[in-house]
């Protein structure tokens, strides 16, 4: 009898539902779920016997229905992590520490830990938290979820709106989309509530596209500097955000003429709006506490800025976006154009972990 691979999915959101359900379809996989948030494990377990429905929206407008269910949903780390071969962390980056701390005592050697998505600096955080055990693990971070998806009914039904054509895994990943769009949209906002929630990706204008392209150019410049200063490092996966969309969403895009139109005509983004909160019925204001700023700044563009700083690359676009975002967060990461702010400890910038030379990021000699 063949031995099953034990796959642990950490989290209870839309991505965790998709992954837990799809993994369960494989006869050689035991799919487990660990969720530490509130009463999620109890609520999901109560619905487990009736199964999980995954609704897939196909490109031709049709839909496919997949009925499945994970083998276990629990809030007990020992029960979930013992014997796990692959551990997928499918929660917002601010929750990574809680899950890594919870499962660390029960992880075996040669475990594969996957951040899905990991956000920038995921590897640094894992090494810092897992200590010597990290030397015997494989740590992988993906740039995003493989799908655009949303939860319809907790523990019962999740919807896949689009499936990416490819998915990249890299240290310097282009996790730079949300903050520039938020900055471009709301930096000139007059403070008056809106009568409807504006489209997020499909609503971008020329200024937002310029910001996205500028930040992406700075990522490319950083990758080029790394390749020059650290011989043998392959940075070919670091591509411009325009090319990234063409690579990952090609079959979903109807106008590929420029970055703005690529995002506006991406069918996988249909109906996705800015994070907003209601101040009265039918009146909305932007939610600056949403993960698009709270997470994607400190654990996204700030670490990328940190790597660029080590590589000696000037980043005026990143600096402009970070400066505005840190004001909304009431944080100080950037002072002028240097990462010397008092709240750098709350980020995943490599400087936080004691990496002060570019070469140290690629030696594998971690200080743990």
Instruction: Give the catalytic positions in this structure.
Output: 178
Show the CA angle centred on residue 291, arms to residues 96 and 332, nearest 5°. 90
The residues with which 188 forms a beta bridge, in sequence order, are none
Q: Which helix (H) or strand (E) holds 348?
A: none
212 SS3 class? helix
Show the CA angle centred on residue 326, arms to residues 10 and 202, nearest 5°. 70
Closest C-alpha among 182, 172, 81, 86 to residue 124? 172
Question: What is the spatial distance between Cα 70 and Cα 115, in angstroms, rounded to a whole number?
Answer: 20
Main-chain phi, psi angles of 259, to 5 degrees? -60, -45
Give the β-pairing of 72-74 and 63-68. unpaired
Closest C-alpha among 89, 212, 130, 226 to residue 171? 226
* Polymer length of the chain: 368
In DSSP notation, 292-324 reads HHHHHIIIIIHHHHHHHHHHT---HHHHHHHHH
Q: Retrieve residue 167's tokens.
A: 């998915």
Q: Retrieve residue 329's tokens.
A: 């967060």
Question: What is the spatial distance between Cα 232 and Cα 188, in angstroms, rounded to a whole number?
Answer: 44
Q: Retrieve residue 278's tokens.
A: 């209601």
Q: Retrieve residue 189's tokens.
A: 């906002």
In this structure, what DSSP letter does residue 107 have? -
Separation of CA 113 from chain center: 15
Q: Retrieve residue 117's tokens.
A: 């998505």
130 SS3 class? helix
Q: Is the dihedral of CA 34, 37, 42, 44 positive or negative?
A: negative
Are 180 and 318 within 8 A, CB to CB? no
């Amino acid at each position: 009898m063949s031995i099953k691979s034990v796959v642990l999915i950490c989290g209870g959101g839309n991505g965790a539902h998709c992954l837990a359900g799809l993994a369960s379809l494989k006869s050689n996989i035991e799919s487990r779920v660990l969720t530490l948030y509130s009463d999620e494990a109890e609520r999901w377990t109560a619905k487990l016997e009736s199964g999980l429905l995954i609704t897939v929206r196909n490109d031709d407008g049709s839909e496919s229905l997949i009925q499945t269910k994970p083998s276990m949903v629990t809030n007990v780390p020992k029960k979930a992590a013992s014997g796990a071969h692959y551990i997928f962390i499918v929660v917002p980056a601010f929750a990574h520490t809680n899950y890594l701390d919870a499962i660390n005592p029960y992880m075996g050697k040669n475990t594969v830990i996957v951040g899905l998505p990991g956000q920038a600096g995921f590897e640094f955080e894992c090494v810092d938290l897992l200590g010597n055990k990290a030397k015997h693990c494989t740590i992988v971070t993906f740039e995003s979820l493989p799908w655009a998806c949303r939860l319809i009914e907790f523990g019962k039904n999740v919807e896949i709106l689009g499936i990416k054509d490819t998915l990249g895994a890299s240290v310097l990943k282009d996790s730079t989309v949300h903050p520039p769009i938020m900055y471009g949209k709301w930096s000139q906002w007059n403070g008056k509530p809106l009568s409807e929630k504006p489209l997020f990706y499909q609503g971008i204008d020329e200024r937002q596209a310029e910001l996205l392209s500028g930040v992406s150019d700075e990522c490319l410049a950083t990758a080029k500097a790394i390749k020059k200063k650290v011989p043998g490092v392959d940075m070919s996966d670091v591509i411009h955000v325009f090319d990234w969309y063409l690579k990952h969403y090609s079959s979903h895009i109807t106008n590929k003429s420029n970055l703005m139109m690529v995002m506006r005509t991406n069918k996988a983004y249909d109906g996705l709006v800015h994070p907003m909160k209601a101040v009265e019925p039918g009146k909305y204001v932007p939610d600056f506490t949403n993960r698009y700023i709270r997470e994607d700044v400190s654990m996204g563009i700030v670490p990328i800025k940190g790597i660029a700083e080590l590589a000696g690359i000037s980043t005026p676009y990143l600096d402009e976006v970070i400066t505005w975002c840190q004001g909304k967060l009431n944080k100080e990461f950037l002072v002028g154009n240097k990462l010397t702010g008092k709240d750098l400890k709350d980020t995943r910038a490599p400087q936080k972990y004691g990496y002060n030379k570019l070469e140290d990021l690629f030696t594998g000699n971690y200080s743990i």
